[in-house]
Amino acid sequence: MTVYGNSDIKLFWFLPTHGEGHYLGTTKGGRPVDLPYLQQIALAADNLGYHGVLIPTGRGCEDPWLVASALVSVTRNLRFLVAVRPGLQPPSLAARMTATLDRLSEGRVLINVVTGGDPVENKGDGIFLSHADRYQLTREFLDIYSRMLAGEKVDYQGKHLQVEGAELLFPPIQENGPPLYFGGSSEDALDVAAQQVDTYLTWGEPPELVAEKLQQVRERAAQQGRTLEYGIRLHVIVRETEEEAWAAADRLIAYLDDDTIAQAQKIFSRMDSAGQARMNSLHQGSRDNLRIGPNLWAGVGLARGGAGTALVGNPEQVAERIREYQALGISNFIFSGYPHLEEAHRFAELVMPLLQINPAQENQHRLTIRSANTGPFGETIGGGERPVTQPQVSQENYASAKL
């Protein structure tokens, strides 16, 4: 197998603007998602050294552009991966929104191109196009949008879109506009990725399936004389021992009943998203076989659309699985966990130190300043001494060490 990975990976976290809690599929353990709470997560991600945060899109979420606008002023280095929606936004309006937010954030915007895979939601948004036509619209949208952000004055006549003299008077901070992220598993989606975007995203399938998909995109991009970056979207459940991690996974769906699973699967079945179909095939709506690979669990997908798999294990196991995906050429990792505030800290503290990450120069400077006095050291002993580094506790002795 060809190894594509390198040490320069980017770690993202997730803003749960669609709802939050301790358990899936129930109001038990639910948590209000308001602006102060989203600020807490964004500040935590910024302070902990995450490259950015993904803000979801769709009718079940708060608007990602308004959320990002509310958070740029309280963060310093954090990037915001926000969605443009071909068919829902005209390309000229999307280009102006992008350039404005890029300037207001001082170049901290990334763009997630989302075509939409739920016909019912699409119709509610006034989009009555077939799967193939949505991707044709996406091609036309990106042609106009990208050229405008690169400083061109655009005249364009396509099947779905037409503009005359479309241009930006105020350019973005990032040259040629923010990088474009995009995911999709259909043939049309793979072609769009190969021809027009910067980073191709996949959901967390087993490594062998991810490798096949990435190879298809890689070959198609090469035919266009292009090379892409690659990313993956996963949940993560990490604990100090593997046993604790799997117990936490079981707790996450402890209140998820069969009726709720059936209701969710009915919604997923109406979608024309090839990626969602691949997610559904991993668990087939059943609790029986959720462990689909080493430390890979499909339980989230029983109730949640989109990304439905999680890495589950102790820190060393989770880091090893990340390195396996990294070897396939993935350099962008978009993680989440329930609840998102606590799990952002847990992942940063347990897993990040095990990964080879080359932080951006501004983050490196910030971390150097922070380490001058604030650690991480643990609590000062007796008000006068720093704790010393302790030897690693073996898994066998962990239970007694907690006592």
Q: What is the C-alpha separation between 50 and 12, in angstroms, rounded?
A: 6
Token pair listed for 298? 């499909």
> Is 368 a residue whose pLDDT tops 60?
no
> Is 359 a residue whose pLDDT tops 70?
no
> Is 275 a residue whose pLDDT tops 70?
yes
Band of residue 370 on the pLDDT scale cut at 50, 70, 90: very low
114 Cβ contact list (under 8 Å, min separation 6): 57, 83, 84, 85
- Mean pLDDT of the 167-181 span: 96
Token pair listed for 283? 């668990």
- Mean pLDDT of the 210-222 span: 97
Least Cα distance to 213 among 193, 196, 227, 198 occurs for 193
> Is 292 a residue whose pLDDT tops 70?
yes
- H or E element in which residue 325 lies: helix 315-327
Three-state DSSP state, 238:
strand
**Bridge partners, residue 154, by sequence:** 166
The CATH T-level fold of domain 10-354 is: TIM Barrel (3.20.20)
Question: For a pLDDT cut of 90, what percent of the chain falls above it?
Answer: 74
> Is 399 a residue whose pLDDT tops 70?
no
**Bridge partners, residue 231, by sequence:** 201, 332
Place of tokens 């992942």: 347
Q: Where are the domains of the chain?
A: 10-354
Output the pTM of the full model: 0.89
Q: What is the C-alpha separation between 42 and 71, in angstroms, rounded?
A: 7
Least Cα distance to 260 among 284, 283, 235, 285 occurs for 285
- CA dihedral sign of residues 257, 298, 115, 16: positive
On whether the CB atoms of residues 235 and 306 are closer than 8 A, the answer is no
346-361: b or e for each residue (b if 16 or more CB lie within 10 Å)?
Answer: bbbebbeeebeeebee
On whether the CB atoms of residues 201 and 179 are closer than 8 A, the answer is no
- Mean pLDDT of the 5-32 span: 91
- Mean pLDDT of the 53-59 span: 95
- H or E element in which residue 335 lies: strand 330-336
> Is 175 a residue whose pLDDT tops 80?
yes
> Is 363 a residue whose pLDDT tops 60?
no
Q: What is the C-alpha separation between 323 and 332, in angstroms, rounded?
A: 12
How many helices and strands, by DSSP H and E, does the chain display?
14, 13
Q: What is the C-alpha separation between 94 and 361, in angstroms, rounded?
A: 30
DSSP 235: E
Query: In Å, how far are 26, 102, 138, 170, 319 from 108, measured between CA atoms?
Result: 35, 6, 24, 17, 27
Q: What is the C-alpha separation between 339 and 20, in angstroms, rounded?
A: 6
> Is 201 a residue whose pLDDT tops 80?
yes
The values of phi and psi at residue 10, to 5°, are: -115, 125
